[in-house]
Each structure stands twice: as C-alpha cells, then as structure tokens.
Amino acid sequence: MTNHRTGHGCFISFEGIDGSGKSTQARLLVDALRAIGHDVVLTREPGGSPGAEEIRELVLQGDPDRWSAETELLLFTAARRDHLERTIRPALAAGKLVVCDRFADSTRMYQGLSRGDLRGKVDQLHSLMIGQDPDLTILIDMDPDTGLTRALGRQGKEERFEEFGPDLQRKMRAGFLALAQEFSPRFRVIDGNRPIETVAADVLAKTLAVLA
C-alpha cells in the first residue's frame, strides 16, 4: 500500500495503559499479517533500535523520581528519534508494514499529563524532532484496575510507571480516550476486556479495513 504521509509502507501503533494487552495483540496482528503475505517489522518503544534500547533501561528502571519530568521527556524523545532513523523509516521506505508497541501518543499521555501539564512541550518537541505519526493507531481500552493487576503480575524490573499506581492508570485511560477523539482519523478504539482471540479478531478486521 502506498501512503501519502510515509511515502511507502504503513505505520501502525498500539497504545493503551500498562497491561491492556498491547504486546500480546501486536504480536498476534503481526503473525496474522505475515500469514497473508505481508512483510512486517514488529518493534516497540521505548526501544526498537540498539541505542533506544539502552535509553529504555535508563527510563524504565530505578527510582520513580530518578528523572525530572523534563529530562524524562528528552530521553523518551531521543530514544524515539534513534528508533525512527534506524528502524522505522528504513522499513517504511522499503515498503514494509511497521507495527510498533507504543509510540508518540504514549509521550503525549505519560510525559504530557502524569507529572503536571507538559503537553505543550511534548507537542513542540514532537514537531521539532520527530514529525511523524502512525497511519493507524489501535487503542486497546481497558479497565484500569484489571490493567494494573495484569501489568504487576509480570514481575519485571521495568516498574517505574507501574509504581505510580491506580490513579495514574485511571488518568491515562481517560487521556487516551480523549486523544482518540483529538486524532480520530487515525485512531481505532478496541475493547480489551474480552478474551485474547476476540480482541485479536477485532484488531485484524480494523487493520485490514485500513490497508484495503
């Protein structure tokens, strides 16, 4: 498919609160698209390139107050710039589909809203340094308490944001739904409170409708 914003390829992101099922659904969508012959790159943020994966460790591990809100915004943006230069743009230029677990909408939410209102700075940095949004964004909408239980059940080392607790999860859920209104042409909202296979079928149907 040719896309006027990316030039080639198609750029699909998954968004939603922690534990909403983004990684699970991104993987299943990639499997389904490959099975019907698409050339797909699966990637994630923060991360998705060697340098950005190093920044991921800096931003997701350690004390919740490790960085100021502004420093954290710069680190997430630096990681995204590297990911875009080295992974996303080359894949799109080669005509591939790119499926990304979180992208700039996560920064609009987490850095934009979680510690004061930095949304204006987030948007300025985005247009200055990134300048690209996905063609399609799948928002997995999820009850915040269920999401947090699922996320904490994973017991990893990357807990900085999960440690901010249920209030942040609720704020993020409402924020993502508002973002879906703000950027309604590229967003599709999917109910994540259903069995994995049911959600996956919905995600695939909505993606194929956009690719058609």
Enumerate binding residues for ligand TYD (CB under 6 A): 18-19, 22-23, 45-46, 60, 76, 101-102, 106-107, 110-111, 151, 158, 161
- What character string, x for contact with ligand ADP (CB under 6 A) and - otherwise, covers 111-150? ---------------------------------------x
Structure tokens at 190: 């999917």
Tell me how long the chain is. Answer: 212
Radius of gyration of the chain measured on its C-alpha atoms: 16
What does 18-51 look like in DSSP terms, one character per residue? Answer: TTSSHHHHHHHHHHHHHHTT--EEEEESS-SSHH
Residue 118 CB, nearest approach to ligand TYD (Å) = 11
Structure tokens at 127: 């247009």
Q: Is the link from the previous residue into 185 a cis peptide, with omega within 30 of 0?
A: no
| Binder of ligand ADP out of 196, 205, 208, 209 (CB under 6 A) | 196
| Binder of ligand ADP out of 6, 22, 29, 41 (CB under 6 A) | 22
Interacting residues with ligand ADP (CB under 6 A): 16, 18-24, 150-151, 154, 192, 195-196, 199
